[in-house]
Amino acid sequence: MDLGLTGKTALVVGGGRGIGRATVRLLAQEGAHVAVFSRTASEVDDAAAEVRAIGRKAFAASVDVLDRPKFHAAFDAAQSALGAPSVLVWCVAPFWKPTRLQHLPDEELDQLLATDLSAALVACRRALDGMLELQFGRLVLVGSLVSQVGIAGGTAYAAAKAGLEGAVRALSVDYARRGITANVVSPGFTASERLEQRLAGDPEQREKLVRHTTRRALVTPAEVAEAIVFLCSTRAAAITGTVLEVTAGAHLNTLW
């Protein structure tokens, strides 16, 4: 099935590893040129090299999304190199430690909300100008199951991810008639390198997470990327303002 992405420019923020890296790979395989932003230079360079090996153009930038001047400079450079992105995938996944709100320092609260929510809106704002000129745009923000299912010590993280869901609904109202869609993909616990590192030496905790899925297997980064890239495609023109759960059934919170 042709997804209509050949020749389009995509920007994946948080594309160095995990879900973001899988998304970069799949976008390139579907014909898109890809700009990759992430904090770790070696990871974005590797991701860009993979895009080029597939036969597409790539741009790589090591960027901390909280450094607004550097983010804007990187966006300008990516746009000069590849053209205005008509696809934006926000896949930033900062490390956070479960902490009850009463014990969460102001600076940690502010940083988490700024990274997971405010910076995403800044990226959308930058991308919208080019999308409006093109009369085509796809905004896909990666949320989390924790915005719907309570998790101990996750108040701030859940609030930020829920904010993304509200944002895409409002963006859909504002821009749907201009050919721009906005959606959230909400993964469950994903068998990424980061999660496997957290669970190393704790098979009981891993099994507990597996039992929370209806298929008794964790989601993989590649499976989440499939959903993201479909929403980036011309085939998904009628899907906007939606939260797509890719959880292997964990969002059902089933007792069975």
Please give the Cα distance from 102 to 244 (Å, whole number).
32
DSSP string, the chain: ---S-TT-EEEEET-SSHHHHHHHHHHHHTT-EEEEEES-HHHHHHHHHHHHHHT--EEEEE--TT-HHHHHHHHHHHHHHH---SEEEE----------GGG--HHHHHHHHIIIIIHHHHHHHHHHHHHHHHT-EEEEEE--GGGTS--TT-HHHHHHHHHHHHHHHHHHHHHGGGTEEEEEEEE-SB--HHHHHHHTT-HHHHHHHHHTSSSSSPBPHHHHHHHHHHHHSGGGTT--S-EEEESTTGGG----
**175 a catalytic residue:** no
Token representation of residue 194: 């980061």
171, 177 Cβ separation under 8 angstroms = no
Question: Distance from CA of residue 68 to its chain's centroid?
Answer: 19
Q: Which residue in the list 37, 96, 136, 157 is annotated as catalytic?
A: 157
Residue numbers annotated as active site: 157
